[in-house]
Amino acid sequence: MNLRASLIVLIIGSWVAVGAAWIVDSDVGTEDGITQPPFFYNVPVEDIVRISLENQGEEVSFHYRESISRWYFDESTEFVETPADLFRFGGITTLLGGPRTTRVLSADINDPAQYGLDDPSSRYSIGLRNGEERVLLIGNQTVNGESTYAQIEGFPQLVLVDTSWSGVLDRLVQDPPVPEWLFALNPDEVREILLFEQNEIVRAYGINRDSNTYFLCDLPVQDDPCTGTTPVDPDAFRSAIEHISAREIKGAVALGLPDESAFEQYGADQDSPYLAIRIESPSLTQANVTEVNRISMSIGDVTPDGLFRYAVANETSDVILVEKEWADQVLELFTGDPLVGS
């Protein structure tokens, strides 16, 4: 759908067990005769079915659903029936399957604390199809910051791995790879709300930049953000935005639908109620630059159990579930009285 209608290098290997060390030296040189660094460990990507990543006290974990060939977040209060984003999570199993070492430093670690391995900054757990588990410990960075001390839990070898390798995995913990429909909305960054029905704007609210106040916009919309002459009720408008931001998404029921017609059975097609929210936030990388984005959602039919409504958010090809009570209150923005002062 359009606005309205709108790895790091892959590492491939096989499981090789060499004594008790699990450090595999490659005896195959490159074309120019330079020997590749040894693997830290090596497991077949297709045997990885569980992943748990910890960094600085935070943790995120995933499991593989064989029936649909997708990785999902483990269930929690934050993640309910939530698949990992394909773009951000793609290649992670390959990354975990066999990182190369920068150097094997020692066959035995005499003082783990010297390398930060007594209390690792990160811990990566890999669950295999046969029930086995590999736990990787990540310690301090070297002085130049290019490498990081690492160890496989239960084995004495001390190795160096490229810092960028662990950095990619740590970022998944600090910024989980959620799908685009699991949006976050800061009410303070909202600058415009457009409400569509039957693919036409039926109501809109926008900010007047001169006065920094919000108005019910004149239709048809001419400006971006839209403008008008009727002031909103500040308390009612703020309450509505806070309600939307406290979205009640309960996971996905269909992933990767092929075309617009596939959404019709859920009542979440191009003619369903649709809201588009313009958000503006200061750029994190440039001074005096404002980033402009939009959050959108089509709200569809009530589910057979009466507890949820189907929805499509942020122009994805997935159908999600939203709490019916939450969605019905959003729909009041379309059919109820405008949020203006008396």
Structural domains of the chain sorted by starting position, each given as residue range(s) with its CATH number in brackets: 45-174 (no CATH), 187-335 (2.60.40)
Q: Which H or E element spans position 334? A: helix 324-335
Residue 105 CB burial class (10 angstroms; 0-12, 13-18, ≥19): middle
What is the per-residue pLDDT for 224? 84
**Opening angle at CA 272, ends 268 and 275, nearest 5:** 100
Distance from C-alpha of 170 to C-alpha of 176, rounded to nearest angstrom: 9
Residue with tokens 């699990």: 22
Phi then psi for 162, rounded to 5 degrees?
-65, 135
Mean residue pLDDT of the chain comes to 86
Binned at pLDDT 50, 70 and 90, residue 32 comes out as very low
Binned at pLDDT 50, 70 and 90, residue 283 comes out as low
pLDDT at 190 over 60: yes
pLDDT at 34 over 60: no
Q: Give the mean pLDDT of 16-20.
A: 29
